Structure 1
Amino acid sequence: MSEADRSALEEISIRNLGVIENAVVPFTKGLNVLTGETGAGKTMVLTALALILGGKSDQDLIRSGSERLSAAGIFRLSKKSEPELKELLKTHDPEIENNRLLFTRSVSSDGKARANLGGVAVPASVLANFGEELIEIHGQSANVRLTKTVRQRELLDRYAGEKFAEKLSRYRDDYQSYHELSKNIAELKVALKKRDQEIADLEELVEAYAKIRPNSGELSNVENDISRLDSIEDLRAGAAMADNVLNSESENVLISLAIARRSLESIKGKDAQLDEIREALVESILNLNDVAADLSRYTENLDLDPNALANAQDRRAQLNSIIKKFGKNPDKYQALEEIIVDAEKAKARIIDLTGGEDRITALSKELEASFQVLQDSAQKISGLRAASAKKLGNLVTTEVRQLAMPHATFSLKINTYDSAEIKNYSINGLDEVLMIFASHSGGELLPIAKAASGGELSRLMLALEVVIAESEPLGTYVFDEVDAGIGGKAAIEVGRRLSALSKNAQVIVVTHLAQVAAWADNHLVVIKSESGVITESSITKVAGAERESEIARMLSGQEESAIAKEHAKELLTIVRG
């Protein structure tokens, strides 16, 4: 992919950030270089870039005496945006003018930060998500990340290209499908286990109910019977005495009342008031006759079943036992009523719950088929990674040998785990990628964390990006301290490789080395004023004699030195030539 087909950072504007009061930094295609004396504010430009890309905000960055800092960046988008970027644009729908997208960030002295994308307020994380699709920043932390196996796999996968990305995406779909199906089976098994327990509980309820056969309201009735039977002798004595008063053959209340009624009958019709009394007496006598008959039957029945009390107590115990085992309501009478209802519904519920094993069997067969698909997909991924790793190792070795390490060797070791074990699968496949390196001929290839110094690690990262940039769509690469720990011929070669990278993508470099700066297509100088404040005019593009003076200053510390200027001209001639 050529640079013309990629996105690019066109401009960063900065207000009240660190020592920078107000500055606009223009960038072009090709290699952009930022130079300047130590403390001039070069790093603040990268700090502003980090802010607009969703980095951590800090009120300590606000320029002394100011209430707020702000930073903004304009990206020109590619006309052939990648799917991930297209999806982000569709989701957040920022305003895009002339194919330009504006990122802004502000931080106030009270620590509150705001982020905007295309004029729309967004969380800082959204800026970060967009930034990942537009720009790659390399500094000391990025070089340290290179020693992590996760980062090493990411770089290899980036190099492997679009075909690999499609296969990896398909594998991840297969991986998600397998685990979702496995999760469904596990959840169904848990549900069936609970179901089996529920069926067992229902069957136990049905069995207990069938044995006891409780009736609605029965517990209250049984307890009343027990209370009555438990006082049988007192009831018998009291009832017998009352029965004797009402039903005695020789003399009883009813006989006396009958005599009274006949007396009143003999004078019936002579006094209305007395007639009312007679009628009341007649009604009372009829009621007492009923009471006397009931009392006689009650007295007779007290002696019918000598085992009634024991039977009632046994029945109460049965009812209490089923309530204790199956009751849910604290009110025992209500609990029994609910048990009766549950028991009557239990058989139908058991029928509803029966089955489910057939579903697990069917899903398990699906899972076996899904695993086969996952296995095949993972093996294809591993094969593509192995081929890409060999090619990448050779290309990076060629690149790094041109960075003043003529006998260095770089390779990628891939450990592929057993595909028969599901535990070995991850969202990225079966592979563990390890970058190994030797800086001199015959040296043992060791993990780069052990084998490469800080300067070698920076150059190795540069070599990787030069190779990878040819096959990936990223528009802008930023390097800070890529020249750390090197000089002379090595620095010339670092500049040469940065220039090579800029043929495929926009490159922005902060450097202290003239040998790197000499390769710039756009050379920007940050100049610190006497007051220590950088104004808009303090960041300028230099060319011709001005650029020669800056290169001379970087070589000798004296921009007006005639010898240094001659060296600067010679260096620029070598680079052009």
Structure 2
Amino acid sequence: MIEELRITDLGVISDATIALHPGFTVVTGETGAGKTMVVTGIGLLLGERADPRAVRNGAERARVEGRFRGVDPAVAARVEEAGGELDDGASGPELLVARHLTAAGRSRAYLGGSGVPAAVCADVTSRLITIHGQSEQVRLAAPERQREILDRFAGPPLAALLGEYRSRFVERRAALAELTELREQAQARAREADLLTFGLIEIEKVAPQPGEDVALAAEAERLQSADDLRLVATTALGALAGGDDEAGGAMTEVGVARKALDGQSDVEVAALAARLAEVSYALGDVAADLARYLDRLDAEPGRLEWIAGRRSALQNLTRKYGATVDEVIAWSADAAARLSTLDSSDDRIAALTERLAVLDAELAGLAGQVTGARTRAAAAFSERVLAELAALAMPHARLLFDLTPAELGPHGADHVELLFSANPGSEPRSLAKVASGGELSRVRLGLEVVLAADAQHQTLVFDEVDAGVGGRVAVEIGRRLAALARHAQVVVVTHLAQVAAFADQHYVVVKSDDGQVTTSGVLPVAEEERAAELARMMAGLETTDSALAHAGELVELAAASRRPV
């Protein structure tokens, strides 16, 4: 529950602190005094859009701060996750929430002392406070909101069913999207598979080897200059070994020189002879290598032509699949992997189709269980709300939840609509079409009173809950709000004395005007002053004796209704 609310420079309120207690708190005040700023301030704590025009004239910024106690572990964990901390209060952990708004339009939210986005602040505070204003009355006319209310009444059993249903629904939606995409792209995949298969077959026929194009280019270059190579090799061999038709050559001359030196006793000459022997052996080795080289040149007829054909086949591949043979081989590996993926798409389509059939059956079963739970809850809910409406001076009202089949959606297969009639003999019709403003206010209050039994530690804020009503109906609204406050903290902004009389705590927004600026403050109304304030609300500026008497009767009536039976 919210324990304290402080508002600074918001609207016409310059600085006000409201200490809130469990039970029923009412805020009253003259028209234009700024009592709706209390709801606006709480709305800012709930992350609502910050309007810079709400900053008080002449002020740089508006500030709203709220102190909450009774924070449950789930909320505490969310605060810690956001970087905030709880304070140690006299009655347990307390959470401080603040919202600052500048006249320039900048807004900041603070959660447990840590600056957070407004959405994060709203995520936490929405678990602690619910505001019911005119916008909620409009929302109540929507079938989606009516379904939410019914599901809330049905409680944890239906929530568990819906959780299981939604997990299946989300899975089905993802599977259907994937299946649709696979089917829509089937032709494109088939064309791609054909192209990949053609390329792999073409490459397989040629069977290129890594680096083959580079090696063949070097060999072709060598073979294309074979005549020149043969001439230089023959000339070199002749110089070493002599021509075929004549003796001589370097080897012969070296042999003659060696022979001349052999057998001499002089040490130096013997050393020279040994060196000549080494030269002779080396020249013999070179001559032998040259001879073998010439034999190879003459042993590869047609090799150059084969190389040209092979290079042509490789170039046909490199024009399509890569700049080099190595790139062609890499493309072949990638294409094989991609083809495997494409081939598996048919298997995936079959698996998804089978899974969708299973999910459809499971969803149909779960949707049926959801419908059954809603139907049972609808009957009990309507019966209890009708009892509340009878207490709100609508004894002949009829209210029922109409469930009609709908397509499977994220919330089941039901279209939920509240049907209502206020008078006997009238067939219930759509609540949004037949209920007046006052009737809609009472229906909304009746729903909230019934739902509040499970709303422990929840704070409910009502703005204009008594719109369009008065007299005895207003008294009954006050009585029902007091009953609601037995289960939840209730804060009500009202202009009706009949409602305010039932409050456990009363604040009044007081307006002052110095001729230039209008300023409002929020003051507590002491118990002995209640009758005077209620009389003012009934009689206007002039508080008459009859108004005071009537106000005293209201206070006594409200006090009697709160006494234990």
Question: TM over 0.5, yes or no?
Answer: yes
The answer as to whether partners of 2:455 and 2:487 remain within 8 angstroms in 1 is: no
CA distance in 2, matches of 1:337, 1:265: 62
Alignment equivalent of 2:483, drawn from 500, 504, 507: 500
> Match of 1:40, SS?
coil
1:470 alignment counterpart: 453
> Match of 1:512, SS?
coil
Q: Does 1:131 align with 2:125?
A: yes
- 1:23-102 correspondence runs (5 A): 23-57=16-50, 60-77=53-70, 85=75, 88=78, 94-97=86-89, 98-99=91-92, 101-102=94-95
The answer as to whether partners of 1:478 and 1:507 remain within 8 angstroms in 2 is: yes
Q: Does 1:314 align with 2:303?
A: no
The answer as to whether partners of 1:149 and 1:433 remain within 8 angstroms in 2 is: yes
Q: Give 1:56 shift.
A: 3.7
Alignment equivalent of 1:543, drawn from 518, 527, 549: 527
Alpha carbons of structure 1 residues 87 and 201: separation in structure 2 relative to 1, 3 Å: farther
1:512 alignment counterpart: 495
In structure 2, stretches of 5+ residues that fail to align are 561-565
Q: Give 1:152 shift.
A: 1.5
Q: Does 1:533 align with 2:526?
A: no
The answer as to whether partners of 1:94 and 1:120 remain within 8 angstroms in 2 is: no
The answer as to whether partners of 1:57 and 1:107 remain within 8 angstroms in 2 is: no
- Using CA pairs under 8 Å that are at least 6 residues apart, name the structure with larger relative contact order, 1 or 2: 1
Count residues with an aligned counterpart.
Answer: 547
Q: Give 1:30 shift.
A: 3.3
Alpha carbons of structure 1 residues 279 and 445: separation in structure 2 relative to 1, 3 Å: farther
1:554 alignment counterpart: 537
> Match of 1:133, SS?
coil
CA distance in 2, matches of 1:413, 1:339: 64
The answer as to whether partners of 1:178 and 1:374 remain within 8 angstroms in 2 is: no
2:214 alignment counterpart: 220
2:563 alignment counterpart: none
Q: Deviations over 1:111-149 (max 9, x none)?
A: 3524133x5665544443333333221112222222333
Percent of aligned positions that are identical:
37
Q: Deviations over 1:220-267 (max 9, x none)?
A: 332223223334455555556666666523347x43762475267536
Alignment equivalent of 1:154, drawn from 148, 154, 158: 148
Q: Deviations over 1:253-312 (max 9, x none)?
A: x43762475267536769999998887776666555545444444445444454222211
AA aligned to 1:496 is: R
Q: Deviations over 1:291-337 (max 9, x none)?
A: 5444444445444454222211122234445556665xx5x365478
CA distance in 1, matches of 2:210, 2:95: 77
Q: Does 1:458 align with 2:441?
A: yes
Alpha carbons of structure 1 residues 526 and 350: separation in structure 2 relative to 1, 3 Å: closer
Q: Does 1:103 align with 2:96?
A: yes
The answer as to whether partners of 1:70 and 1:104 remain within 8 angstroms in 2 is: no
Alpha carbons of structure 1 residues 469 and 305: separation in structure 2 relative to 1, 3 Å: same
In structure 1, stretches of 5+ residues that fail to align are 1-7, 419-423
2:406 alignment counterpart: 417
1:421 alignment counterpart: none
CA distance in 2, matches of 1:483, 1:156: 23
AA aligned to 2:12 is: V
Q: Deviations over 1:356-411 (max 9, x none)?
A: 99999999878766665544333222101012223333443454455455654333
Let me know the Cα RMSD of the aligned residues.
4.8
> Match of 1:473, SS?
coil
Alpha carbons of structure 1 residues 449 and 284: separation in structure 2 relative to 1, 3 Å: farther
Q: Does 1:16 align with 2:9?
A: yes
CA distance in 2, matches of 1:372, 1:469: 36
Q: Give 1:20 shift.
A: 2.4
> Match of 2:487, SS?
coil
The answer as to whether partners of 1:217 and 1:337 remain within 8 angstroms in 2 is: no
> Match of 2:249, SS?
helix
AA aligned to 1:309 is: L
Alpha carbons of structure 1 residues 271 and 61: separation in structure 2 relative to 1, 3 Å: farther
